[in-house]
Amino acid sequence: MTVPFRVLQRDSGSRARLGRIETARGPVDTPQFMPVGTRASVKGVFPRDLREMGAQVILGNAFHLSLRPGPEVVRKLGGLHRMAAWNGPILTDSGGFQVFSLATMRTLDEDGVTFRSPIDGSLVRFTPEGVMEIQRQLGSDFAMVLDICPSGNAGRDEIVSAVDRTLRWAARALEDHKRARERGEVPFVLGIVQGGAYDDLRERCARDLVAMEFDAYAIGGVSVGEGKDAMRRATEAATAHLPEDLPRYLMGVGTPADFLDAIERGVDLFDCVSPTREGRNGRAYTSSGFVHIRNAALAEDPAALDPHCEGICCREYSRGTLRHLFHVGEMMGPMLLSLHNLRFFLKLMERARRAIAAGTLAQVAADVRRVYGSAQPAAEESP
């Protein structure tokens, strides 16, 4: 069984495509950004607001939810959808990113990975099969296999080892998934392409995963310390060997310019923590670039944060007011900027979809790169 996905239109000047994923919990129009709700909550934002700004799918994290409150508790509380008050699709990550971000707190072996919990120091064991079971208990709609995410600065030998083990673990996860599918309804499962900045390793990993026949595919191991050119090459090398009739998900990326780079290379789905993280820290994405709301020059500024935005943050609050909220420590400030940044990302994807349909994606990409081309990619939160 594969993810029900239709390519509705292709861009004439790139590999970008307009598509739709059909799920039991509603459609997902692509290209699409997926807000990150690591612990069953998108930080500082009500699910109602996510729906109103156009979010169709959100993320959870199997690693963090397995630590607190635990998959059994999530199941007893009605599943992740109930806990998150979200009736749309949910994708859950597997813990593969924590193999990278918690490198000093884990040990790897052929059977799996043992983490030292960042909460209480206890040992936590993850295996390819166990991660599948965790995500089934969470009630995920899309589940990720456990993979090895090496640093972007790792040497070739280390990345070869990561690819080899990722493929062996993917095969084990898929076998477990097939057995569970025989027992009843289970999530769609995505294989993850690793390979660092080496085109041949990306190609080999992609080809081997496709031969296993996963439901859809993701590109991992990017935005982990490598440069922009390496990120683009990795994306290009992977998408070139993934099926045209299935969704492609670029994990943990990134900035507005990164999105357009990847969309032009045929990527459909994105996630990143940067909208809420930057919002909490007083940095806003706007149509004219970053605004640092704590800047003293904004203290008496009556203008909207972004005059081209119709969201509540820009309709109801001035830059001076937002600066005041941060200056005095009112929680409304981080909430409003998080809301605004998420809306910016979701509307950017909506703009990309319209542009693909109209044949104007190249102009949209040029506009975005003009404003955000020099912005640094946002790193994932740790742990």
Domain limits, the chain = 5-272, 279-372
Give per-residue pLDDT as tens, 255-310: 999 999 999 999 999 999 999 999 999 999 999 999 999 999 999 999 999 999 99
Give per-residue pLDDT as tens, 116-130: 999 999 999 999 999
Nearest to 192 by CA among 118, 109, 99, 123: 99
User: What is the mean pLDDT of the segment spanning 350-357?
Assistant: 98
Give per-residue pLDDT as tens, 76-87: 999 999 999 999
pTM for this structure? 0.96
pLDDT band at residue 374 under the 50/70/90 scheme: low
- Work out the burial of residue 324: count CB atoms within 10 Å of its CB; fewer than 13 is exposed, 13-18 middle, 19 or more buried: middle
> Distances in Å between the alpha carbon of 179 and those of 75, 128, 129, 144, 175?
20, 14, 11, 16, 6
pLDDT band at residue 334 under the 50/70/90 scheme: very high
367 phi, psi to nearest 5 deg: -65, -45
Strands 58-61 and 289-292: unpaired
What's the pLDDT score for residue 381? Answer: 44
Q: What is the DSSP string of 228-242?
A: HHHHHHHHHHHHTTS
pLDDT band at residue 185 under the 50/70/90 scheme: confident
The whole-chain average pLDDT of the chain stands at: 96
pLDDT band at residue 184 under the 50/70/90 scheme: confident
Give per-residue pLDDT as tens, 212-233: 999 999 999 999 989 999 999 9
18 phi, psi to nearest 5 deg: -95, 130
Preceding peptide of 184 cis, ω within 30°: no
pLDDT of 375 above 70: no
240 phi, psi to nearest 5 deg: -60, -20
User: What is the mean pLDDT of the segment spanning 143-152?
Assistant: 96
Return the percentage of the chain with pLDDT > 70, whole number: 97
Nearest to 17 by CA among 3, 5, 30, 26: 30
Give per-residue pLDDT as tens, 4-50: 999 999 999 999 999 999 999 999 999 999 999 999 999 999 999 99
In the β-sheet with 5-10, what is the strand arrangement from edge to edge?
5-10, 17-23, 26-30
64-80 exposure pattern, b = at least 16 Cβ within 10 A, e = fewer: bbbbeeebeebeeeebb
Strands 216-219 and 248-250: parallel
Contacts of 263 (CB under 8 A, 6+ apart): 14, 16, 31, 352, 361, 365
Catalogue the active-site residues: 93, 271
pLDDT of 157 above 50: yes
What's the pLDDT score for residue 254? Answer: 86
Q: Which superfamily does 5-272 belong to? A: Queuine tRNA-ribosyltransferase-like (3.20.20.105)
